[in-house]
Amino acid sequence: MEALAAAIAAGLAALGAGLGVSNIVRATVEGIARQPELRGTLQTTMFIGVALVEALPIIAIVIAFIALF
């Protein structure tokens, strides 16, 4: 039962991160399409946002492993 809970937690974290990253990239592409001269600034902000969003599944997987063992 604990293994199932860990798998569900990791899966939901990955799903949430995927949705979050897709929203960030979509908004960045729209911003670049509207104002191409801000490409560098928008990309930098996008990479910071993606890194922060990707940290959450890593933390969730660590917590799932702690709960599992």
Q: What is the mean pLDDT of the chain?
A: 94
**Can you give the chain as a three-state secondary structure string?**
CHHHHHHHHHHHHHHHHHHHHHHHHHHHHHHHHHCHHHHHHHHHHHHHHHHHHHHHHHHHHHHHHHHHC
Assess whether pLDDT exceeds 90 at residue 12: yes
Assess whether pLDDT exceeds 90 at residue 32: yes
pLDDT at 45: 96
- 65 vs 41: CA distance, rounded Å: 37
pLDDT at 2: 85
pLDDT at 11: 93
pLDDT at 68: 85
Assess whether pLDDT exceeds 90 at residue 1: no
DSSP letter at 1 equals -
